[in-house]
Amino acid sequence: MQTTSFNPLSNSLQLSPPWTLPETHLPIANGVPNTLCFRPRTVTRSLRTCYRADDGIDDGPGPSSPVRLPLVLRRSGRVSQYVWDGFSLQLIGFDGGASSVSFDFGDGFRTLYRVSVLAVKDFFIPKNVSEHYVIYVKWKLLHRVFSSALQVIATQAMFRAIGVGHSRSLASAAALNWVLKDGLGRLSRCLFTASIASAFDTNLKRVRFSTAVLFSLSIGVELLTPAFPQYFLLLASIANIVKQISLGCYLSTASAVHRSFAVADNLGEVSAKAQIQSVCFDNLGLVLAAFLNFLSKNDRRLQAALPFVVYPIFAAMDLFGTYQGLKHVHLQTLTKDRLEIILSNWIEQGYVPTPAEVSEREGIDLLCRQGKDSWPIRIGCLNLEAHVPKLSILAMRSVCSKDYYFICMDAFFRGSTTNTHGILLCLREGARATDICIGLLQACFIRKTIVSNTRIWEEKMVKGNEVSDAIAKEWINLVEDSKKYAEENGCFVLQQMSSLGWAVKNVLLSTNEQIRYSFVDDP
């Protein structure tokens, strides 16, 4: 077997060796070498290694032009490139100037602008985030600036209402009113957040925008306190209660929003950058409010009317920035509504949508319009207050010990009097996320089949007690076909969802959707 000798410098760097081995004389005595003698030669450093773009590495005397290596280093807002000048390795500014000393004055403004942008981006933006994060931060800037300015103006109005700055003001009474309204607000915040804790995960965008609207309204109430100083405690307490509720919802949903942008498990960095953004943007709002006060300081009538003039404008800008920012929050967690969108899209178009596509279709849904289509799907238990179709009883009687869910027809009231039918997915104790996904896929398949023949199903199958054997058989065949379809495609759909970044290990359900049944034969 031949041994191949590998020299990593053989094809690129031909360096002159510092010393060579002379001819070796081995005295032989009785056929055995006695001494190995070396005669080192004088090291001559007259040659050096240089590189030419066309010839490669070359040994030759004289200086050569610096060679830019294909390696760029980004550090502290500066972009530099490694350069070999024949003797040493240096870092040169990517624009051509030395990163440490030289500066191109002819191109100085453009260089300064690029370095400043990189420094600001490094200060505000985390290293590894999704592509929509920068757009989200831009809308957050709009939201925080005008929200902060409104809070400053509202605080000034409340100070005027309690008489701060006037000789007739009573410091003890003002302090007592302030403490009472803060205490009531914090207590209400605890009660509210405890009562709707599960909604923070299942309806995050809706809760966050709804509380943002309430926050803007609370500032409007605070602005009314100078007009009704005798009702200061009442108005201030109402406003502070709403503000504390909004703050509780904001803090509860912040981690989920930050997690949606963190693509490298850098949740701590994203959260830290979010705090930096909030502080800086709020300070800009403070500067804006101070500037408006400076313009109106010599006119008391203008100063009194300023809050009512700027409030509708600033509140609209605040809510617009919040709404647009939430549109760029693409949550990867699965809820019933998101999973239903994904599975319906798979049945109708044959592919799994990305979190961005689902986010666009999901929207904020402020008016809770989801589930208002014909034959909506619900997760939970049967509503005994409405009429229970006979086919639901048939589905319950066919449940066996191996099933972790069953699907039946659902009857509920839409509005006050209208009785509407839908599809109900009932989950058993111990059902996993996979069971929920497969069960909902089966329910979506059943709905697609029913919607294609809506008139027949609504007129013949859901008319109370009159259920013929033919109708019952048709329903059983539909359930069996849909179950077979769900079991054949469920695992593949879950794999596709996981590859697109969906968190398929858990499905977040609301309080009513978490109701489970137990099989009587369960130990």
pLDDT at site 440:
95
What DSSP letter does each residue of 304-329 carry, written as one string? Answer: HHHHHHHHHHHHHHHHHHHHHHHHT-
Both tokens of 447, joined, read 């709905």
Extents of the domains making up the chain: 122-328, 334-517
pLDDT at site 182:
63
CA 289 vs CA 267, 294, 478: distances in Å: 33, 9, 64
pLDDT at site 216:
94
CA 469 vs CA 321, 398, 458, 472: distances in Å: 58, 15, 16, 5
Residue 329 class from Cβ within 10 Å (0-12 exposed, 13-18 middle, 19+ buried)? buried
Residues in the chain: 523
pLDDT at site 458:
65
CA 166 vs CA 169, 170, 187, 303: distances in Å: 6, 9, 32, 16
Handedness of CA 463, 469, 471, 473 (dihedral sign): positive
**List of residues 6+ apart from 307 with CB closer than 8 A:** 153, 154, 156, 157, 223
Q: Residue 41: how many CB atoms within 10 A of its CB?
A: 12
pLDDT at site 178:
59
Q: Tell me the pLDDT of the chain (523 aa) as tens digits.
A: 444 444 434 444 444 444 444 444 444 444 444 444 434 444 333 334 444 444 444 444 444 678 888 787 776 556 778 888 878 887 777 654 444 444 444 466 777 777 787 788 888 888 888 888 999 999 999 999 999 899 888 888 887 777 654 444 445 555 555 566 666 667 776 776 666 666 677 888 888 899 899 999 999 998 998 888 888 878 888 888 888 888 888 888 888 899 889 888 888 999 999 999 999 999 999 999 999 988 888 888 888 888 889 999 999 999 999 999 999 999 999 999 999 999 999 999 999 999 999 998 888 876 665 555 678 899 988 877 666 777 778 888 888 888 899 998 877 655 544 457 788 999 999 899 999 999 999 999 999 988 887 776 766 555 544 556 777 788 888 889 999 999 999 999 999 999 998 999 999 998 888 888 888 765 4
Both tokens of 175, joined, read 């302090």
pLDDT at site 42:
40
pTM of the predicted protein model: 0.72
pLDDT at site 194:
66
Secondary structure (H, E, C), 407-429: EEEEEEEECCCEEEEEEEEEEEC
Q: Considering only CA atoms, which of 433, 437, 436, 449 is closest in space to residue 482?
A: 449
**Which CB contacts under 8 angstroms, 24+ apart, belong to 49-55?**
49/13, 49/14, 49/15, 49/86, 50/86, 51/84, 51/86
CA 324 vs CA 233, 261, 313, 366, 441: distances in Å: 35, 16, 17, 14, 31
Please give the span between the terminal C-alpha atoms of the chain, in angstroms, as a whole number: 69
Q: Residue 257: how many CB atoms within 10 A of its CB?
A: 20
In this structure, which topology does domain 122-328 adopt according to CATH?
Answer: Growth Hormone; Chain: A; (1.20.1250)
